[in-house]
Amino acid sequence: MFNESIDSRDSVLQHLRAEIHGKKLPSGTQIDPADLASKLGVSTDVVREAVSGLKEEGLVETSADGQQRVVVMTKRLAQELIDLLGLLLVSAVDRLPEDFQENAPVVTAAKDFSAAVLQGQPNSENAFRTLAETFFAGSGNGELQRVGLPVIDRAMSILRLYDSTDLLPMWADAFEQLPEVLESSPKEAARHMRVFFVYLVNEIEYSDAFSETQ
């Protein structure tokens, strides 16, 4: 399937990431580099390098028996990721200026994301990243922007293992009102989002969509 060129590692990594996100390699699936190498037509070393990249992204983990497997989405992992998202995004929103004109791009991005979620659009994840970008840019905090976006990307990549049909309605509850709150007061919007992320963590606690063990 792939040629052993300099970008084979990245090609295999992208392929395996898509397989994981597409549930063709479901959570808990053991990773056999030799078997994957045979199927993909590349060397075992190339597959091992790609899997190492997936481990860095948090999509592959080492299980208790020492085997590499697709990460298992437990309640604890989901709650930790949601907590992290909340911390970063609320911190950014809390730093937005009170001037409406300066916040116009943020409000627009919030409206676009809210519409995408409420309509179940497949591009809602891209709209969410755009919203995060505008939050960080509007905060005026360069360090938050530099550190925040890679963390957002990593967290959202792992959260894609969580069934979106269960997650998206929860997001819709909070983000439907966000554009209006942002127009009124960024400080109030930060409080609104803080309450939402607490709510989401609590909802996950009572969800049956997760494995209870690693």
Quote the domain boundaries for residue 64. 8-70
CA 78/CA 170 separation, integer angstroms: 14
Both structure tokens of 22: 């597409």
In a domain, 131, yes or no: yes
One domain, residues 35 and 13: yes
Amino acid, res. 144: L
Q: Which of 70, 98, 120 is the C-terminal boundary of a domain?
A: 70
In a domain, 201, yes or no: yes
One domain, residues 124 and 198: yes
Q: How many domains does the chain have?
A: 2
CB 5 within 8 A of CB 46: no
More confident residue, 179 or 32: 32
Residue 120 — pLDDT band, cuts 50, 70, 90?
low
Instruction: Note the helical H segments in 41-177.
Output: 44-57, 75-94, 104-118, 124-139, 142-159, 164-175
- Per-residue pLDDT for 123 more than 90? no
Note the pTM of the prediction, 2 decimals: 0.82
In a domain, 3, yes or no: no
User: Residue 30 is part of a domain; what is its CATH number?
Assistant: 1.10.10.10
State pLDDT tens for residues 41-64.
899 999 999 999 999 999 999 888
Residue 2 — pLDDT band, cuts 50, 70, 90?
low
One domain, residues 142 and 87: yes
One domain, residues 24 and 127: no
- Per-residue pLDDT for 161 more than 80? yes
DSSP 3-state of 62: strand
Determine whether 135 is exposed, middle or buried from the number of CB atoms within 10 Å of its CB (0-12, 13-18, 19+).
buried
